[in-house]
Amino acid sequence: MNKYGTMARGHWEKWLPERYAAIREPDSFFSTLGREAEQQVEELADQIAGDGQPGEGYLERAGRLAAARSQAEEIVLPQMVLPEPEPGPAADPAEGSAAQEGSARPTAISPGHPLWAEVDAEQRERTGQDG
């Protein structure tokens, strides 16, 4: 299971317990979801990055590609990997009512989102950065 599948499984187990409980084969489901999310991120990142500029150096290219991947993740992850929490005690009531009214999902997890600290801590742990 790739990082997106692992991320989705933890998120769904914690924030979407009813949907998670309905999954018959979680390993297979989240492995497939992770692969699909990775493919969408890669395709979108390629589109966002576009072609390199004449004379673009290594650092400029690396920065352009990293920024494109980050933007692609900001779009794909909330849609596929980190959907809004189910209404309930752990979810923000305002978010639950907005979701019930059919509002669009945000395109990124902002510092005000309930998962911000958890995702930030996981990323810092993976990259070896301190708080």
Helix intervals (H) in the chain? 3-15, 17-21, 26-49, 58-76, 93-100, 116-127
Residue 53 belongs to domain spanning: 3-127
Mean pLDDT, rounded, for 26-34: 95
Domain tally, the chain: 1
Tens of pLDDT, residue by residue over 77-122, are 999 999 999 886 554 445 444 444 444 444 455 566 666 666 666 6
pLDDT at position 107 is 43
Instruction: Please tell me which residue, 47 or 123, carries the higher pLDDT value.
Output: 47
Whether residue 41 has pLDDT greater than 80: yes
For all residues of the chain together, what is the average pLDDT?
81
* The pTM of the whole model exceeds 0.95: no
Using DSSP, state whether 113 is helix, strand or coil.
coil
Q: CA 21 to CA 59: how far, in whole Å?
A: 45
